[in-house]
Structure 1
Amino acid sequence: MSAPKVVRWGILATGGIAQTFTTDLLVDPATRGVHHVKHTVVAAASSSSAPRAQQFLKDVGAPAEAKAYGSYEELVKDPNIDIIYVATPHSHHYQNAMLCLEAGKNVLCEKAFTVNAAQARALVDKAREKNLFLMEAVWTRYFPLSIYVREQIKSGRIGPLHRVLADNSMALNPEENFKDGKHRMVNPDLAGGALLDLGIYSLTWVFQTLYHTQPETARQKPKVVAALKSYGATKAADETSTVVLSFPRPEELGGEAHAVATTSLRVATAPGGNHDTASIRIQGPKGEIQVFPPAFRPSRTRIILADGTVEEKNWEFPGPGKGSGWYNGFGGQKNAEGEGHGMFWEADEAATAFLEGRKEGKYEGLEESVVIMEVMDEVRRQGGLQYPEKIETTKFPTQL
């Protein structure tokens, strides 16, 4: 077996999601059965200061020689970086990712890809112009669990899909937890609201099951009917959004298929952390596939067939293992000792694509990322939700 090839990462931003991703990134890929690639971090940048970036590198266990930058402009000039992971709020994704692409850097950009579809299309055009790799970091798509679900669908196990119900909601008590209105979940200057932060996962499950599993030549954009409730404290973000999607489909593939994708900051998919009710239901005439919450990091599936057969599977998150003293997590919560968070799978795909010379991800191409942004544009249009022009614009550079 040949030695794994090393892919060199730069980390743009040093917040919570960057810390979780990078901590996962630096776990030996062999712990999850990946032997062709290894990851290293050669640089990180904080927009506030180089010392902040230096502390970040220390916290995640990056190599001692990794460089700390006090600006994103310095980071993108580093010649030793193969791929930059963009980990800023989605309000800033367009400006930050465009900065990287203009500098000739390959990009893995956090979800939601951008604020609107026009920005997403502009990034895709720039990546293609520069012949660079670009991928939206929808980590859930790269889970072995998700790959399994898509394989079950494509095998015809439950027949042609006719309906998908997807919910990703959290009772966050926003008036109490986000009193000053500056938190990214409710702040319009950060494209706040349920849709772009949480609803992207509901739409991810709809698209990766009803859209991505179709032959590329057969895929058609869905029709969209949406209801959006504004967050009362600001009237400038959504607290609940519900989307009904109708996917045109050839009759030989089952004809028109429907989906409901919903999200909320007010109520929870799984109150009290009770994960016994499926958050995703994928239905065909021969049965259904259930995925249990949280939708963004699920670990259990159930298949129920029309003949009464029930198959349940539990999915582990590999890592250094018990006794390692190693921990990861997100939002102040830690996973079990030695258990990875699951962000390394998307990193493996990005690195593999880079090494193979591919310019987009295997399980969500750029065209699909743009279509999903178009759906979210339409949800906001029907709900009357607009963000400040400075974060909606495609003008680059724009000071945020």
Structure 2
Amino acid sequence: MSAPYTVRWGILGPGWIAGEFSKDLVLDPSTRGVTDIKHIVQAAASATSLERAKTFLSDVGAPNGTAYGSYEELIADPNVDIIYIATPHSHHFPQCLMALNAGKPVVCEKPFTVNTEQTRILVELARNKGLFLMEAVWTRFFPISVQIRALIKEGRIGEVRRVFADLSMAQAPEEKYDDSHRMVNPDLAGGVLLDLGVYSLTWVYQTLYHTLPAAVKPQSKPTVTGTISKYERTGVDVENAVIVKFPNSIGIATSSIRVAADPEDNNHTAIKIQGTLGEIRVDHPAYAPAGYSIVVAGKGVERVECPVPAGKGMHWEADEAARCLRDGKLESETIPLEESLLVMEAMDTVRAQAGFRYPEVIESTEH
């Protein structure tokens, strides 16, 4: 058996989500049945404190990694194969630009950027430079997502005509968040649509668009309408509803931090994928469901459990990136860059219809 392909990661932005990702990286891949890939947390950088980067590496189980006190140093490290960007949404675009311009492949946390034009610039730059680029929407790589996409393609529930997807959490923002918190701070591209709504839209797009034959996709681009409710104190959105109309189907995506999708956390259905023969009901939370039910008329209910065998489940997106690097692919087939652009376009459209724009320094393509 050949040795596993090893990828050395550089972690840009040592916050909470980067910590979860990195802890998954250092897990033994065999715990999830993977033998062809190995990950190393090679380095991490904080723009504010070298000590913070050192503490981060120790905390995630990579004490031998190299700590840097600037992002430029991390990106310049010749021992780093790929950069994982996990800073606030407002910073994704300039930091992706920095990494790509330095010749480094990039995996960037969702949402890719603040707006479509920023994402389009990154896509064009990566393609021109022949560099791998991927949005880290971890949900796309869960076995549960893979299984459900396969069920749709094989026609298990007939022709899928409608999808309802929701990710809502009752968080009482006035009590929980200071106005400087990234969730409600417009200067950090806060708001529910870009943070939670992207997961609801992920389910709409991965079920109604991604599963289409390649030949029909160019004629299947959706039209989008939507609305948002704004947070009185800072002006970002705290609730939203998005209707995505494809030629032969409709997706309805909602998210909120005012109400809960599942008040008692009892595997309440978060996504309903409805076909002409039945439906698939996917558990809450939409970002990491652990089970689903197949309901076919006249055949009852089939329950399928999909627990994460170890870690949080962020390792599957890292495995995908590693295999793409190994195989010389510039983008993932599971989350093509075109689909990242389509989701960004949907969120742009809803924000424009609601008159919601971030500060110009955040929306700008000039960096």
Q: Which residue of 2 aligns with 1:313?
A: 304
Q: Which residue of 1 aligns with 2:130?
A: 131
Gaps of at least 5 residues in structure 1 are 249-255, 320-339
Q: Which residue of 1 aligns with 2:350?
A: 379
Q: Which residue of 2 aligns with 1:265?
A: 257
Q: Deviations over 1:378-399 (max 9, x none)?
A: 0000111000111111112xxx
3-state SS of the aligned residue for 2:214? coil
Q: Deviations over 1:242-273 (max 9, x none)?
A: 0111102xxxxxxx211110000100101132
Indicate conservation of the 8 Å contact 1:41/1:63, yes or no: no
Indicate conservation of the 8 Å contact 1:150/1:209, yes or no: yes
Pair 1:47-2:47 in alignment: yes
Pair 1:61-2:81 in alignment: no
Separation (CA, whole Å) in 2 of partners of 1:245 and 1:40: 39
Separation (CA, whole Å) in 1 of partners of 2:91 and 2:356: 18
Q: Which residue of 2 aligns with 1:191?
A: 189
Indicate conservation of the 8 Å contact 1:42/1:63, yes or no: no
The residue type paired with residue 364 of structure 1 is I
Separation (CA, whole Å) in 2 of partners of 1:308 and 1:279: 22
| Count of aligned pairs | 365
The residue type paired with residue 256 of structure 2 is S
3-state SS of the aligned residue for 2:216? coil
RMSD (Å), alpha carbons: 0.9
Q: Which residue of 2 aligns with 1:228?
A: 228
The residue type paired with residue 148 of structure 1 is Q
Q: Which residue of 1 aligns with 2:168?
A: 169
CA shift at 1:362, angstroms?
A: 2.0
Separation (CA, whole Å) in 1 of partners of 2:190 and 2:9: 28
Separation (CA, whole Å) in 2 of partners of 1:307 and 1:98: 54
3-state SS of the aligned residue for 1:291? strand
Note the 1:206-355 alignment, pairs <5 A: 206-219=204-217, 220-234=220-234, 236-248=235-247, 256-275=248-267, 277-319=268-310, 340-355=311-326
Larger mean CA deviation between 221-230 and 113-122 belongs to 221-230
Q: Deviations over 1:61-111 (max 9, x none)?
A: 1152x2100010111100111111000011110011111000000000000
Separation (CA, whole Å) in 2 of partners of 1:30 and 1:243: 40
Separation (CA, whole Å) in 2 of partners of 1:232 and 1:272: 28
Q: Deviations over 1:46-66 (max 9, x none)?
A: 0111111011001111152x2
Indicate conservation of the 8 Å contact 1:243/1:262, yes or no: yes
CA shift at 1:308, angstroms?
A: 3.2
CA shift at 1:309, angstroms?
A: 2.4
The residue type paired with residue 293 of structure 1 is H
Q: Deviations over 1:110-165 (max 9, x none)?
A: 00111000000000011011100000000000000100000000001111110000
Q: Which residue of 1 aligns with 2:3?
A: 3
Separation (CA, whole Å) in 1 of partners of 2:305 and 2:278: 19
Separation (CA, whole Å) in 2 of partners of 1:383 and 1:240: 12
**What percentage of aligned pairs have identical amino acids?**
56
CA shift at 1:310, angstroms?
A: 1.1
Separation (CA, whole Å) in 2 of partners of 1:243 and 1:176: 27
Gaps of at least 5 residues in structure 2 are none
CA shift at 1:274, angstroms?
A: 3.0
CA shift at 1:213, angstroms?
A: 0.1
Indicate conservation of the 8 Å contact 1:287/1:306, yes or no: yes
Separation (CA, whole Å) in 1 of partners of 2:296 and 2:266: 24
The residue type paired with residue 216 of structure 1 is A
The residue type paired with residue 208 of structure 2 is L
3-state SS of the aligned residue for 1:104? coil
Indicate conservation of the 8 Å contact 1:226/1:244, yes or no: yes
TM-score, length basis structure 2: 0.98
Q: Which runs of 4+ in 1 moved over 3 A?
A: none
The residue type paired with residue 48 of structure 1 is T
The residue type paired with residue 88 of structure 2 is P
Q: Which residue of 2 aligns with 1:89?
A: 88
The residue type paired with residue 107 of structure 2 is L
Q: Which residue of 1 aligns with 2:146?
A: 147
